[in-house]
Copies of this chain bind each other. A is one copy, B any other.
């Protein structure tokens, strides 16, 4: 069977990693295409891949695309004969890209939940507001749609599934902990698009505990963790995509997401939020200009991609899963440690983009090879975990586990 053509949508920091990894693993794919609103950004990434010698003699063809227009997406899928679309553009385009895949018959992969530019933190479960409403349409079209296949959500969902498959009969709690112990040397920066990054924290923090949704505000609940490599760090109960899908698969378990923040980050965030500068609602200046404050904050902050050259240190992201096996309680911490500098040396991106960008390529390979080509919509925990995690190990994101028997590779 012919290798499937692949279409990457987006040209930001994560898309850059995706493109590098697709190129490195080009033997798994047919033609490689990359589309972005601003085509020149995609061209720059392709040039970077060539410069690193990652293209392996293959061509990556770039296209200009308004991904908010599902007909344009479908047209480009047909024109490129893409069988797999990796959507790593803004979170605002998920629904139109998915519709394009449904209409043109291509597999769909994304790494973050759909967001409506005008809304922040909708009612849980978030996937129920947009993605899951298309389940029947996806199945009717006979395509595969893998949702949230980045690191978190994505790999951490697979960690939960691995715990289900290999460690416990019954899962009691899943605590996902995301610590970035790296340093970018700037006064302040977000690791992703600030518009998306801050939206994670400005609304209600939802967690699934005791069989129901609990509501907190950001930075209300903190806990100190002691993790491999990064050591003791404070992380805060945060709202995050994967809580919304894992709570559906494991309704009996408590599902919480903890994000690590330093005091400086919290201070800057708190000032901006309290002043109203993180608002997505327009304000009017004394001169009568209508401006969305959050877009101005984004404009003054460093471009996340620009942080990569000076980024040092490591990330540790993992799942502390508690459960029972044969009636005996136990716990396991399944995790990955990534290094910002190594990521930059390999693909020219910082570690946060690297950990988010490698997994959707692994997902694409597993669709191309078959095991994940399930012809329906699935979150990552609904798919076999071990082939995904083993492939990620080959691709640069090894998984380790700590349990009663010690700290070791899976």
- Tell me the A residues contacting B by CB distance below 8 Å: 187-188, 195, 267-268, 271-272, 274-277, 279, 283-287, 289, 291-293, 295-301
Contact = CB atoms under 8 A, between A and B. Distances in A.
6 contacts: A188-B271, A268-B271, A275-B297, A285-B298, A286-B295, A289-B295
Contacts of A188: 271, 274-275
Nearest to A189: B275
Contact of A283 (B195, B284, B300): B300
A352 to B, nearest CB: 19
A172 to B, nearest CB: 41
A289 B286 contact: no
Given A188-B275, A285-B295, 8 more contacts: A267-B267, A277-B300, A279-B300, A283-B296, A283-B299, A283-B300, A286-B298, A286-B299
Given A267-B267, A289-B291, A291-B289, A296 B277 contact: yes
Given A267-B267, A289-B291, A291-B291, A299 B275 contact: no
A275 B300 contact: yes
A188 B295 CA distance: 21
A267 B275 CA distance: 13
The 9 closest A-B CB pairs, nearest first, are: A276-B300, A283-B299, A285-B295, A271-B271, A187-B274, A285-B299, A296-B296, A268-B271, A291-B291
Nearest to A272: B271
B291 A296 contact: yes
Contacts of A289: 291, 295
Contacts of A296: 277, 283, 285, 291, 293, 296
Contacts of A286: 195, 295, 298-299
A276 to B, nearest CB: 4
Contacts of A287: 295
Contacts of A277: 277, 296-297, 300
Contacts of A267: 267, 271
B301 A275 contact: yes
B275 A187 contact: yes
Contacts of A295: 285-287, 289
B299 A291 contact: yes
A85 to B, nearest CB: 23
A301 B293 CA distance: 12
A393 to B, nearest CB: 36
Contacts of A272: 271, 275
Contacts of A300: 275-277, 279, 283, 293
A301 to B, nearest CB: 7
A126 B114 CA distance: 54
Nearest to A300: B276
A227 B306 CA distance: 49
A194 to B, nearest CB: 10
B271 A299 contact: no
A267 B270 CA distance: 11
A263 B286 CA distance: 29
Contact of A299 (B187, B274, B284, B299): B284
Nearest to A37: B286
A272 B277 CA distance: 10
A202 to B, nearest CB: 14
Contacts of A283: 296, 299-300
Contacts of A187: 274-275
Residue from A188, A272, A296 whose CB has the most chain B CB atoms within 10 Å: A296
A90 to B, nearest CB: 9
